[in-house]
């Protein structure tokens, strides 16, 4: 598959979604008590949620977002409309109409799925992949990712590691933080835990758990293709997709439900409206 890159799991989220009570101004953004020091500063869940919300708002404005009646949006809402909340967090979903194979979740509960991912995975496989992203929300992984991103942006600006000043974030700095978040790496343990969360999510909700193995097989196959060098760079923080597929298979075998998964038909188009049948009227003869 040409020009399809995998950047799965690059922005992660946590509990404690911050309620945004006012419209975000994409000029300078005051970040309350955030300190821009590289060491020994505390980034709360609310801080991470607020900064993530600003970054996602910026990305939403810069990318083509599928409209409410778009086939991609209708499909995503059908699959995840009932999975918008968990213990301590609320999720919102949108589709970016881009060819890259990508999905991410951020600390404010935003889940963004690229149309390129939806083009190559069926409903169950998509549930497994996004279930992994929800796992990063539920497992509270985002604070470390945001801290690393914020610290990296501080280094870019040459801010002293001992700085204790309240920072403001400009659009330019917000872009740098977004890039730093993309480069942030989660531990293999966190990735494995998110994979397990995805399996349990599928199992709990009555979905086909074997689709998780299938999704990883697809990613592994792509990593062996023309995108391999790019993929190696972007996926260096993730366990090997083949191994993750094997782990998913072992979980299903342990539960006694393993069966080789056969990918189902992928439909991202708006269902055709049913033609209205006209009732024939007959005139009675007098």
Residues marked active site are found at: 133
Residue 59 makes CB contacts below 8 A (sequence gap 6+) with: 96, 112, 178
- HSE of 166 in the Cβ direction (CA atoms, 13 Å)? 7
Cα torsion angle, 53, 17, 191, 169, sign: positive
Q: Any idea what DSSP says for residue 67?
A: P
What's the Cα-to-Cα distance from 250 to each of 180, 212, 244, rounded to whole Å? 35, 11, 10
The token duo for 47 is 């801080």
Beta bridge partners of 31: none
Nearest-10 Cα torsion for 242, 248, 249, 252: 180
Question: Which phi and psi angles does 158 have, rounded to 5°?
Answer: 70, 30
Angle between helices 171-183 and 142-156 (to 10 degrees): 130
Nearest-10 Cα torsion for 120, 53, 15, 157: 100
Nearest-10 Cα torsion for 182, 186, 191, 193: -130
The token duo for 227 is 């995108």
């Amino acid at each position: 598959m040409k020009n399809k890159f995998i950047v799965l799991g690059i922005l992660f989220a946590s509990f404690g979604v911050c309620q945004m009570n006012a419209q975000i101004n994409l000029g300078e953004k005051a970040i309350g008590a955030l300190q821009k020091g590289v060491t020994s500063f505390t980034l709360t869940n609310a801080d991470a949620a607020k900064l993530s919300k600003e970054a996602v708002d910026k990305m939403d404005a810069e990318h083509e977002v599928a409209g409410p009646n778009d086939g991609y949006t209708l499909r995503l809402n059908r699959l995840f409309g009932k999975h918008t909340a968990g213990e301590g967090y609320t999720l919102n979903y949108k589709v970016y109409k881009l060819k890259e194979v990508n999905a991410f979740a951020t600390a404010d509960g935003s889940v963004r799925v690229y149309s390129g991912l939806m083009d190559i995975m069926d409903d169950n496989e998509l549930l497994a992949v996004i279930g992994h992203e929800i796992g990063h929300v539920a497992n509270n992984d985002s604070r470390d990712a945001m801290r690393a991103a914020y610290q990296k942006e501080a280094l870019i600006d040459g801010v002293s590691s001992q700085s204790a000043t309240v920072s403001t974030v400009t659009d330019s700095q917000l872009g740098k933080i977004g890039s730093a978040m993309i480069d942030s790496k989660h531990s293999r343990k966190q990735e494995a835990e998110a994979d397990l969360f995805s399996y349990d999510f599928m199992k709990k909700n009555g979905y086909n758990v074997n689709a998780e193995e299938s999704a990883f097989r697809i990613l592994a196959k792509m990593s062996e293709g023309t995108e391999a060098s790019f993929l190696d760079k972007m996926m260096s923080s993730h366990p090997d997709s083949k191994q993750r597929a094997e782990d998913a298979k072992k979980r299903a075998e342990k539960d006694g439900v393993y069966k080789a998964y056969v990918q189902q038909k992928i439909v991202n188009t708006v269902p055709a409206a049913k033609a209205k049948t006209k009732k024939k009227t007959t005139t009675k003869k007098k």
